[in-house]
Structure 1
């Protein structure tokens, strides 16, 4: 009889409890699993965003090796980001035409600062452009032949130093010699730039979008004879952003390119050419 009562029964001493088997242990373990799962998903999301971002940066940088039509399409996409409320027809009126975009994929050196002078000499400047003193940009004040647009003032200063090598060496020490204009807000007021442009021949000019537009609006910067506008597209900041990646800089650049003096220059019979460095 006693054996029958024992069948199927568990006595208290026969059960071994563990922490994992308690209700509180189950809850704690479940919470830790959920927390780790959330962390893993956040890491995966960050990695995906980073991969997409760097892929986009690489694609944008590679646009310099594409055809004029593809570069014009790329620029059109930037215009639409800046002017999202404009109709397709209104945006079309402000775009840089493909006929004004110059292909530079034959330049096979790295697009770094030390190669920019060679890039301009090969892609933007006729052989005698800066050697002929009779050219308008060599004698008229504030009328550059080449205008380089950078998204960063410090970078623009570095470009200006590099481009001095393109100027005639025999005139370099003359006080009134043609010079490279540095046109950015850092350390310089607009009035100082106006005075510089009104008193010097500046066959080469480097600046940031907002300051360049200010000088165009003031009439100090003349582009009637400008042969090429070069966008410093290969440079990236500490966060790997190009001139088109920071909304404020991109918008200032697009407003500059769509500004009437430049917009008209890109549509001349002998158009000012747009180059992506």
Structure 2
């Protein structure tokens, strides 16, 4: 009896060992599979995150580029072609209609005081070129004596231009100055008479020491300089109004009440009105 039990003992132990080995092998295989699967998932997630980051950065770059594009203004936005077809009478009517639209509560007498007489305007409807910035020098030459031969010259008197160009805003005035650089010489400056980055005291000092052929500015700044006495009108021959230009908000100088009111005030100044149509030192308004 005892012999039988002893003979079975080693065999049973060996069987249990084999069983344990099989189970250990099975667990090892399962762990190995799980490890591979985990590594594969980790790699997939890592690659997927990279793709997301790449797309995210791509979107950021695209948005950045779009923002940069949006921040770059188009200075030559649009042109009101109807202005080029207006003669003196139509221009005078146009000025009055805009004055009425901006000042509906004014009486007829008050509106009359703001009006610009027909004989103040020069008919420029014969100018056939499109009224872009690049054509402004040709426009001035066309309607100046001797085909603009004296546009690049200036009076000996400091701060006394022969031409004033009126713009609706500082940025536009800066563009106009650049367009007129061909008329600037060492003895005849194209003056910046607008508030954008230029303090009024700086403008006064410039006019006091400089011979000026053409002054480019906004209505209120020009009025302020006239009243200071640093900008003079004794040699003024023409006032050119930037009337065809339409900005990004689809407005011309006639549509901006805050600009049009001082423009009318400027044109109605006594020292200018008395020279419109005068035989001696005639002063004309040209609408570009």
The normalised TM-score by structure 1 is 0.69
Q: Which stretches in structure 1 are left out of the alignment for 5+ residues? A: 1-56
Give the Cα–Cα distance (whole angstroms) in 2 for the partners of residues 165 and 189 of structure 1: 25
- Give the counterpart of 1:257 among 246, 262, 267: 267
Whether the 8 Å contact between 2:98 and 2:255 is mirrored in structure 1 is no
- In structure 2, the partner of 1:130 is 151
Alpha-carbon RMSD: 2.1
Whether the 8 Å contact between 2:124 and 2:286 is mirrored in structure 1 is yes
- Give the counterpart of 2:129 among 102, 106, 109: 109
Give the Cα–Cα distance (whole angstroms) in 2 for the partners of residues 260 and 192 of structure 1: 26
Give the Cα–Cα distance (whole angstroms) in 1 for the partners of residues 146 and 272 of structure 2: 21
- 2:122 is paired with a residue whose SS is coil
Offset at 1:105?
1.1
Offset at 1:267?
5.3
Give the Cα–Cα distance (whole angstroms) in 2 for the partners of residues 233 and 200 of structure 1: 28
- In structure 2, the partner of 1:16 is none
- Give the counterpart of 2:166 among 149, 152, 156: 149
Q: CA, structure 1 residues 224+86, in 2 after alignment: closer, same or farther (shift >3 Å)?
A: farther
Q: CA, structure 1 residues 125+102, in 2 after alignment: closer, same or farther (shift >3 Å)?
A: same
1:95-116 residue CA offsets vs partner (Å, 9 max, x unmatched): 2211110011111111000000
Offset at 1:205?
0.7
- Give the counterpart of 2:190 among 173, 177, 180: 180
Give the Cα–Cα distance (whole angstroms) in 2 for the partners of residues 224 and 83 of structure 1: 32
Give the Cα–Cα distance (whole angstroms) in 2 for the partners of residues 242 and 275 of structure 1: 16
- In structure 2, the partner of 1:119 is 139
Whether the 8 Å contact between 1:64 and 1:71 is mirrored in structure 2 is no
- Give the counterpart of 1:206 among 201, 216, 219: 216
Greater gyration radius:
2
Give the Cα–Cα distance (whole angstroms) in 2 for the partners of residues 71 and 101 of structure 1: 7
Q: Does 1:65 align with 2:85?
A: yes
Offset at 1:155?
1.3
Whether the 8 Å contact between 1:224 and 1:265 is mirrored in structure 2 is no
Whether the 8 Å contact between 2:162 and 2:235 is mirrored in structure 1 is yes
Q: Which stretches in structure 2 are left out of the alignment for 5+ residues? A: 1-77
1:193-246 residue CA offsets vs partner (Å, 9 max, x unmatched): 111111111111100011001001111111122111010011111111101112
The normalised TM-score by structure 2 is 0.67
Whether the 8 Å contact between 2:183 and 2:190 is mirrored in structure 1 is no
Offset at 1:61?
4.4
Give the Cα–Cα distance (whole angstroms) in 2 for the partners of residues 126 and 217 of structure 1: 32
Give the Cα–Cα distance (whole angstroms) in 2 for the partners of residues 61 and 215 of structure 1: 32
Offset at 1:180?
0.3
